[in-house]
Structure 1
Amino acid sequence: MKESDLYLPLKQYLEGQNYKVKGEVCDCDVLAIREDEEPLIVELKLSLNLDVLLQSVDRLSLSSVVYIGIPKDSKAFKKKRKLTVKLLKILGFGLILIDVTKNSVEVVLDPTEYKPRKIKQKKEKLLAEFQSRIGDPNLGGMASKKGVLTSYRQKALKVAIYLQEHGDSKASAIAKDLDEPKARDIMYNNFYAWFDRVGKGIYSLNSKGKEEISLWLEKKSSF
């Protein structure tokens, strides 16, 4: 079992509670938003260990509603359930057990009130990434963060696909056709080294771009 296997049953459960859910948003395994409530964050792990506790402590700078999600059949948790729940209460975390085979979720503990100092800029970045990302292209709990499709990469891919289909094009035309005001900045800054400037305001997709976007096209339906 992989940590990402826990994501879809959890997402289905939270969506049933009227949350909007996305995976791998600014290093949070799962981020769920419901109206004007505090963001709900879930860190997924195959066992409850120090690493996930430390990750959850870090998430408290973003929201006071932080859960840890583990498999329901976790032997280590069953052996020390009472003490584990007590520890999580002290720390202010919630606990969710996820049964992948039955596609079910059990909320063992809700977060208790805890008010650490919030870092406003980090929280704003978190919510901005959630709102600007199109669809939900990433499975929460992915082992490699390098494969995460961020909102910026989604925009860059839209521009790259446009150039692949239309050939060398003016930045102004791309911005207009895609309704993407940052199209020129994306090509000019060229963060992924996909674009070449071939004239005044005119850009092309280079060989590196053609090669790398093909690896992302399987996620094209998400953006």
Structure 2
Amino acid sequence: MKHKTEKLYETHLYQPIQNYFIQRDYEVYGEVNHCDLIAVKENELIIVELKLNLSVELLVQATIRQRLSDLVYIAIPKPNYSLFSKKWKNICYLIRRLELGLIIVSLERNNDQVEIKIPPSSFDRKKSMERSRNKRSQLLKELKGRHGDHNIGGSHNTKIMTAYKENCIHIACCLEHFGPLSPKALRHLGTGEKTLSTLNKNYNGWFNRIRRGTYTISELGKKEIHEYPELVRYYSELIGNSSD
């Protein structure tokens, strides 16, 4: 990078990118009608917006430039965090989603490097959704396993009610009501296909196997399920109705 004591400006990005396109036979101009850099070759018009950091303002500015050309890049200095991180991958996804290009400039003393990380191209949303069909299926499966909405959107550092946790509560309520039961008997009570897996994994420590094929609720389970009174009430009523 430039010397640590040297303040970095957007203008430091201009010359390396200018040289990059000139070497590829483009005519390059700076500050044309509010565009930071324009590169022209025959009928090809490239617009580059220069910024020291990625921001919403930069993305908005670049998408406005797409009114003038399909070939719009944003250019930033190479980030100081890993380009293999989830953060960077998500940023690249957003840039592709907006059909923008991305230029990374490594500002080394006397040896600036310019790299086209993402070329501008159309984004195939249907293809993207097709690649994520398994995640979509998992999302819908999770919803089917929940009864009601017991989480507050945007919560952080709080316990989240999941379909797995609800299944644990259902099983625990059955065991508390009827006493020791087999996975088969629990499934007959509506605890679902994953009953045996839930009992065996026992992530919460709510279940005890008292003999082969028979389970009971642990003391910890008896205590902790009552932290979820609405669901305990719901499943207790469901169990009561099935017993009639």
| TM-score between both structures, scaled by the size of structure 1 | 0.48
Structure label with greater radius of gyration: 2
Higher relative contact order, structure no. (Cα contacts within 8 Å, ≥ 6 residues apart):
1
- State the TM-score, normalizing by the size of structure 2: 0.44
